[in-house]
Each structure stands twice: as C-alpha cells, then as structure tokens.
Amino acid sequence: MRMINFWADRLRVIGRYLDSMDEARNVKIEDKGSVAVSWEDPSGKPGSTSYTEFDIEKLRQQAPLMRQPIVTPPRGEREELLRTLGQELDLQGVTADAIDEVEDSFRVKGVGPQGPYFRFYSRDELRRRSEERRALRQSSTTPVPTT
C-alpha cells in the first residue's frame, strides 16, 4: 500500500533539485527500483542523478520542512509543478514508470487502477491546479471571525 503524498513528495524533491541548476532541459524521470533523473544543460551536456528507496525515504521525512516558506525566492517552478503533478498521480492512484518533460508539458507513462496510463500535463494546467490547491489550503486555514 502506497503512502499519502507518495509521488507529490518525491517529485517535489526532484523539482527542487532541478530548480537549483541553471536551465536544465529535456528532463526525464524514471522509476526502476531507484528513481533515475536525467537532463541536459543549455550546451547539450548530459547530467544525471539517482535516488535509492533509502534516499527517497530520507527526503520524504524532510518534505514537511520543504512546505515551510523559504526566504530566498525559488529559482524555477519545477518544484511546484512536479509536486502538483505528483498530487495528481497520487489522487488518481497512478504508479508512474516515466515522466518526460516535453516542451511545455510533462508526459507521464505508468499504470493506473484501470490499466496502462499515458497522459500529458501542460505547465498551464499544473499551474492552475496548483493555484486551486493553494486557494483551498488558504481558505481552510483562514480563521472564522466570531461575533
């Protein structure tokens, strides 16, 4: 049984890592026991890293700290976009085998409750869903005035 925020926490950590680099492109995330992340820099030079289950669990434990506001502004938007994508996958019960960043979208291949899963999520769609979730969080934490 998967835990709550399984993909949201994983993808948020990966997004934050990618945001820390300058202009990573052609990003690919594959889950093959360990999570492999590859990209190219602006000159086309490839880069990669991977996370074992142990690494991911340690990062998941740090996820609540990542939800706290940060003093410096983020360098990119992948952290938030990938977290939102992860929330969508968790909500739908999808196990992603591969996530490819393709121009202005993310292509997800995996398995869902109904069988094979293949879907594109545009950056605009993920931004919109992120804003919707942010508004819901803020409305649920806004104190109700008493009179």
Residue 39's CB is within 10 A of a number of other CB atoms, namely: 20
pLDDT of 76: 80
Model pTM?
0.81
pLDDT of 116: 97
What is the separation, in whole angstroms, between the first and last Cα of the chain?
Answer: 46
Distances (CA, A) of 1 to 31, 43, 93, 147: 17, 42, 11, 46
Q: Is the Cβ–Cβ distance between 49 and 58 less than 8 Å?
A: no
Q: Is the Cβ–Cβ distance between 42 and 23 less than 8 Å?
A: yes
Distances (CA, A) of 41 to 45, 59, 73, 112, 138: 5, 24, 22, 32, 36
Q: 42-69 pLDDT, tens per residue?
A: 889 999 999 888 887 787 777 666 555 5
Whole-number Å distance between alpha carbons of 103 and 86: 19
Q: 11-28 pLDDT, tens per residue?
A: 988 888 888 887 788 999
pLDDT of 55: 85
Whole-number Å distance between alpha carbons of 131 and 120: 19
Backbone angles phi, psi at 3, to 5 degrees: -85, 160
Q: 121-142 pLDDT, tens per residue?
A: 999 999 999 999 888 877 776 5
Whole-number Å distance between alpha carbons of 38 and 27: 6
Structure tokens at 115: 């069988």
Q: Is the Cβ–Cβ distance between 101 and 26 less than 8 Å?
A: yes
What is the band of 1 on the pLDDT scale with cuts at 50, 70, 90?
very low
Q: Is the Cβ–Cβ distance between 106 and 120 less than 8 Å?
A: yes
